[in-house]
Amino acid sequence: MSIERAKEILWKLLDEDIIRVRPSDREDFMERWRLAMDELDTGPAVEGARIVCSANRFENGPMLVGARHFDQHMCVQAEYMGVKGSEPHEQGFIDQYGKFYSRTEAWKIAEANGQIVRRCGGDTTNGGTLWSENLY
């Protein structure tokens, strides 16, 4: 997601009072949030990372999260944020810190942590490709 699109969404949430921040603190809040977003989705895997749920990262929109890709929770998020599943996106997973990983990056983390509880195909594709079903 671009920082500008994420900012737009966050301002909407602030304006609709879904996220409560005093009006006098909003600019500071937005700057701290922008810096956090810059750090969050860059760089190598976080030490101690564990895969916690599936995620769809859209090129020009939000990152949707849920137990499975496009489950009912993701669909509600997509509808609220005006995102269509047909828009360009990458399926992957997030760790406990909210960092996004591709399916192959997530496989390596989940395998290293002993999180793979079920084999369902993809074990050797591209060096390992994680599916939600591998985790439960």
Q: Round to whole Å and give the CA distance between 15 and 124.
A: 47
pLDDT tens, position by position, 74-102: 888 888 778 888 888 999 999 988 889 99
CA 120 to chain centre: 23
Q: Give the pTM.
A: 0.68
Dist CA 11 CA 51 (whole Å): 29
Give residue-wise pLDDT tens across range 24-76.
776 776 666 666 555 555 555 667 899 999 999 988 667 899 999 999 988 88
The CA dihedral of 47, 119, 125, 101, to the nearest 10 degrees, is: -30
- Inter-residue contact 74 to 64 (CB < 8 Å): yes
| The pLDDT value given to residue 79 | 84
Q: What is the per-residue pLDDT for 40?
A: 55
The Cα 95–Cα 52 span in angstroms is 5
**What is the Cα–Cα distance from 70 to 25, expressed in whole angstroms?**
35
